[in-house]
């Protein structure tokens, strides 16, 4: 193989991977799967996709070694292929959110609207661990909590939050988190709780970022 052919083969392969990533719905699917495996139907429920279209996107992700699938009963469950990929995906997000002015602006506006501008980051969270006056609140669906969560967190899915208000003390500071920086559940939780007079902030990132950080520090 000549030098030019080799280079072309490598760049073509690299471009193919990036092409597989360069679609908003596929990115959303990746974010869903970073919470744990999901069936096609499970993915469809939290996106605007039709089943057939979601399946097509999943095939593309699968052919590019981004997700893998297993079959159980009638269901096909998809999941991310490795933590190495998750780490890459999070690097992309982190870059986009901090270095692309346009995205940073959209994010800040969203957080302003939800009174969650004053977010806690993972480093700060670490200093709060074991603090009696902090309540770490996971507002993702309970399946996702069960699949994995930040140590010490309490699970109250967003749609059950209103019925559990009595469980919170107004003396404690509540830190709400969900799937990651793009996840709006934590923003909604902050909005609702702060309007009721609770001390509440959101975590800047989510469970997958915390998980990767744990892995790296070992």
Partner DNA sequence: CAAGTATTCAAGAATATTCTTGAATACTTG
Pairing of strands 67-72, 38-39: unpaired
CB of 109 to a copy of itself, least distance (A): 6
Task: Give the C-alpha separation, 75 to 37, whole Å.
Answer: 12
Task: Kindly list the residues in this chain that would bind a copy of itself in the complex (CB under 8 A).
Answer: 1, 3-4, 6-15, 17-19, 21-28, 48, 65, 81-82, 84-85, 87-88, 91-93, 95-96, 98-103, 106-107, 109-110, 113, 182, 184, 187-188
CB of 160 to DNA, least distance (A): 23
- Helix segments in the chain, DSSP class H: 3-21, 24-33, 40-45, 51-63, 83-99, 101-113, 122-128, 142-147, 185-195, 207-216
Segment interacting with DNA, rule: CB under 7 A, options 19-27, 82-90, 189-197, 207-215:
19-27
Angstrom distances, CA of residue 41 to CA of 53, 73, 75, 143, 197: 11, 14, 9, 14, 38
Q: Within positions 36 to 95, which residues make up the interface with DNA, using CB under 7 A? A: 39-41, 49-53, 55-60, 69, 71, 73-77
Q: Is 178 a catalytic residue?
A: yes
Catalytic choice (178, 185, 186, 193): 178
CB of 24 to DNA, least distance (A): 7
**Site for DNA contains 25 (CB under 7 A):** yes
3-state class (DSSP) for residue 152: coil
**Site for DNA contains 29 (CB under 7 A):** no
Pairing of strands 38-39, 199-206: unpaired
Asked whether 126 and 114 are in contact (CB, 8 A), the reply is no
CB of 190 to a copy of itself, least distance (A): 13
- Contacts with DNA by CB under 7 A lie at 19, 22-23, 25, 39-41, 49-53, 55-60, 69, 71, 73-77
């Amino acid at each position: 193989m000549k030098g030019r052919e080799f280079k072309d083969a490598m760049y073509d392969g690299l471009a193919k991977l990036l092409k597989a990533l360069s679609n908003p719905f596929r990115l959303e699917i990746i974010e869903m799967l970073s919470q744990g495996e999901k069936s096609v139907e499970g993915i469809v429920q939290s996106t605007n996709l039709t089943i057939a279209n979601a399946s097509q996107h999943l095939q593309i992700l699968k052919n590019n070694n981004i997700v893998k699938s297993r079959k159980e009963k009638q269901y096909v469950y998809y999941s991310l292929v490795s933590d190495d990929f998750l780490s890459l995906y999070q690097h992309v997000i982190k870059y986009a959110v901090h270095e692309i002015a346009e995205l940073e602006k959209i994010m800040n506006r969203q957080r302003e609207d939800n009174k969650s501008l004053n977010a806690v980051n993972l480093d700060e969270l670490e200093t709060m661990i074991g603090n009696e006056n902090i309540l770490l609140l996971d507002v993702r669906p309970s399946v996702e909590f069960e699949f994995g969560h930040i140590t010490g967190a309490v699970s109250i899915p967003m749609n059950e939050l209103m019925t559990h208000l009595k469980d919170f003390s107004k003396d404690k500071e509540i830190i709400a988190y969900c799937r990651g920086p793009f996840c709006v559940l934590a923003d909604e939780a902050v909005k609702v709780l702060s309007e009721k007079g609770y001390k509440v902030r959101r975590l800047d990132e989510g469970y997958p970022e915390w998980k990767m950080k744990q892995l790296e520090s070992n």
